[in-house]
Amino acid sequence: MRQPRDLAGKDLIQLLGRHYGYRLRRSRGSHMLATLTPLTGRHSVTVPRHRVLKVGTLGQIVSEVAAFVG
């Protein structure tokens, strides 16, 4: 599947929340921390607060989420 080229960090946090249950835990400077707390343990991802995320950064975040969620 092709990754979007114009996805903002704020939009990614909203998508992770809507589809997987991640919640914005804190925001400091130019980064946001989203966490998921299922019964198996806590998982956190750091998302930069950029207007457009680079493809490699987006791919790494999606890989981390996919590895934890399954």
CATH value at residue 44: 3.30.920
More confident residue, 63 or 1: 63
Q: Where are the alpha helices (DSSP H) in 6-51?
A: 9-20
In a domain, 15, yes or no: yes
Q: Which residues of 28-62 are buried (b: 16+ CB within 10 A; e: fewer)?
A: eeeebbbebeeeeeebebebbeeeebeeeebeebe
Locate 32 and state its tokens.
């946001």
* Domain, as residue range, for 52: 9-69
pLDDT tier at 1, thresholds 50, 70, 90: low
Tens of pLDDT along 31-49?
A: 999 999 887 789 999 999 9
Cα 16 to Cα 29: distance, rounded to the nearest angstrom: 20
Q: What is the mean pLDDT of the chain?
A: 90
pLDDT at 70: 82
Domain count, the chain: 1
